[in-house]
Chain A
Amino acid sequence: MARAVSTQRKLIYTVVAWTIALLIFFPILWTILTSFKTEADAIADPPLFLGFDWTLENYAIVQERSDYMRYLWNSVAIACGSTALGILIAVPAAWSMAFVPGRKTKDILLWMLSTKMLPAVGVLYPIRLILIELGLLDTKGALIFILTLINLPIIVWMLYTYFKEIPGEILEAARMDGASLRSEILYVLTPMAVPGIASTILLNIILAWNEAFWSLTLTTVDAAPLTAFIASYSSPEGLFYAKLSAASTMAIAPILIMGWFSQKQLVRGLTFGAVK
């Protein structure tokens, strides 16, 4: 009897879980479907779900009209660059917070996180003006720097949580074995924290890849990443849903594929090391 109840429960949970997952995934699915429709089918009422003439013409037009590869390269450079820079700064920072905490360490951690609550637009003008002044507007370097700063609190927090799980005695053993601070971090701490560092890197590449506010406001042509590429299709010429969808699909495809293959690490990353 108990078994029957639990099977029934399982069925309900499964249906509910699938429904929620489909609801969340639906916009992406719809975008991908729309990208294969003609412009007429895309705005058909009632909407066509699968029964339409599949076409690749949107992709051809998008590729012809704008240089996808350049946007892609900018996205890769900005996402990877800002993550690499962030990790370089965050590893020593998280090390000191986890293993030699001071009286204010907890406060600093919370204060760092609180900067994420600040509406970004509040500092848009100062930053934009500074970049113009320095002649750095629409450069990849500037965007890498800004995104590093924006994601740094999250990177430090995640690494801090992972480092906290490493027993301090092992680092002390390294110190007793004659390791300098650099060797201790390089040969003992980092290899032990590889899973944590990997999820941190993955999550931050995704955050940087998806970032739209700063990349839209601080770039125009040269440094524009894929988010700007999508935005350029909601243009003054009117809305072309099918082409917009094709552009969007092309923009999100790389990160979607990466996310698919690294699901495990991502879940670990998002739960901040709470789940093993």
Chain B
Amino acid sequence: MGRITLDKVRKAFGDVEVIPPLDLTIEDGEFVVFVGPSGCGKSTLLRLIAGLEDVSGGQIRIDGEDATLVPPAKRGLAMVFQSYALYPHMSVRKNIAFPMRMAGLPQDEQDRRIEAAAKALNLTDYLDRRPGQLSGGQRQRVAIGRAIVREPAAFLFDEPLSNLDAALRHGMRLEISELHERLKTTMVYVTHDQVEAMTMADKIVVLQAGVIEQVGSPLELYRAPRNLFVAGFIGSPKMNLLTGADAANRGAHTIGVRPEHLSISTTDGAWRGTVGVAEHLGSDTFLHIHPDSNPSDTMTIRVDGSFTARHGDVVWLTPQEDHIHKFDAEGLRIA
């Protein structure tokens, strides 16, 4: 079991309040991702759940029991750190065994779990090596192995993939998702990468300056961002945001259209502009268009990979009216 409840949890460092009172419930078995720009308090929030930082107010409950003052060792949670935080003086086997050794598990049970974890994580051939002799991806797998074997109530991941290169990151993303499918254990995952958030999460928590901007499934956030911040943060490339007459005509202060909800034409449409940079991904092409109404601005549109447009071409863009997001002057979504 691993149901985590944050009740008016607050954190201040000295006079600086980094997390104003905050409520959040993480259901058992859920994969929850905390996402936000750096400095938004997402890692601090994770460390509060872990017990590595003390809360300045409020209550943390794990499976209904007050864990606010329980030391990290006794919370039954496992954590995977950005820097892997392996014990450099121990072999891979001893690293993985460490939590079980601390829990006083019998040796044969320890061996059984190490073998199982090593097999699942492709580490069987490396059990007798030291962490220093492993690659970044292997080290991260050891850190995950060390977390799995103690069969925790929940896994906490603190930006576990940001030290890996792009190809490896994608592979590990799939492995962690696979792990979640298999174990069905609660996972709380911190990242600044909204692609990781979108692809892995059951539930995304978008944070800014210690405040939860929106909580919801990836597609809920994508389809109905509650405010301008979430609209701009979730989605890659970013949503196109327009103010002025186009917004006023639709009864809003700001309107937003995602790149895939614009259609392009060389003859007519709603907005005229010239083609700037074209990013060819093969299957898709992202065109950056400078609208004539405001040439210093850039709008992004996704077109099929077979569409050809050259720098300086004149094109017309038309939004799909039923996919326009409307926001009021405060930046909140207009239903």
Contact = CB atoms under 8 A, between A and B. Distances in A.
Given A177-B146, A183-B102, A192-B88, A167 B83 contact: yes
Interface string B150-172: 10000010000000000000000
A174 interface: yes
Contacts of B150: 177-178
Interface size class, chain B:
20 to 34
B214 to A, nearest CB: 29
Nearest to A176: B79
A173 to B, nearest CB: 4
Given A176-B50, A178-B102, A170 B87 contact: yes
Interface size range on A against B: 10 to 19
Interface in A140-180: 167, 169-170, 172-180
Main secondary structure on A side of the interface with B: helix
Contact of B99 (A169, A178, A191): A178
A170 B87 CA distance: 7
Interface stretch (B70-78, B107-115, B313-321): B70-78
A178 B73 contact: yes
B99 A177 contact: yes
B85 interface: yes
A190 to B, nearest CB: 10
Interface in B53-103: 71-74, 77-79, 81-83, 85-89, 98-99, 102-103
A188 interface: yes
A176 B73 contact: yes
B81 A178 contact: no
B88 A175 contact: no
A194 B88 CA distance: 12
Contacts of A179: 73, 98, 102
Interface in A221-258: none
B1 interface: no
A28 B79 CA distance: 57
Nearest to A179: B102
Contacts of B81: 169, 172-173
Contacts, number: 62
A99 to B, nearest CB: 12
A174 B52 CA distance: 11
A77 to B, nearest CB: 31
B72 A188 contact: no
A175 B77 CA distance: 10
A172 B102 contact: no
B72 A175 contact: yes
Contacts of B85: 167, 169-170, 172-173
Contact of B79 (A173, A183, A192): A173
B52 A172 contact: yes
Contacts of A167: 83, 85
Nearest to A167: B83
A177 B17 CA distance: 29
A176 B77 contact: yes
Contacts of B79: 172-173, 176
A147 B237 CA distance: 68
A172 B85 CA distance: 8
A177 B79 CA distance: 8
Contacts of A176: 50, 52, 72-73, 77-79, 156
A178 B83 CA distance: 19
Interface in A41-78: none
Contacts of A170: 85-88
A177 B98 contact: yes
Contacts of A172: 52, 72, 79, 81, 85
A174 B150 CA distance: 13
A193 to B, nearest CB: 10
Nearest to A166: B88
A44 B275 CA distance: 100
A179 to B, nearest CB: 5
Contacts of B103: 178
A187 B85 CA distance: 15
Nearest to A183: B102
Nearest to A184: B73
Contacts of B77: 176
A272 to B, nearest CB: 22
Nearest to B156: A176
24 contacts: A167-B83, A169-B81, A169-B82, A169-B83, A170-B85, A170-B86, A172-B52, A172-B85, A173-B79, A173-B146, A174-B98, A175-B52, A175-B71, A175-B72, A176-B79, A177-B78, A177-B102, A177-B150, A178-B99, A180-B73, A183-B102, A192-B87, A192-B88, A192-B89
**Top 7 nearest A-B pairs by Cβ distance?**
A173-B85, A177-B99, A178-B102, A169-B85, A176-B79, A175-B72, A191-B89
Given A175-B71, A177-B98, A177-B146, 17 more contacts: A169-B82, A170-B85, A172-B85, A174-B98, A176-B72, A176-B73, A176-B77, A176-B78, A176-B156, A178-B99, A178-B102, A178-B150, A179-B73, A179-B98, A180-B73, A183-B102, A192-B88
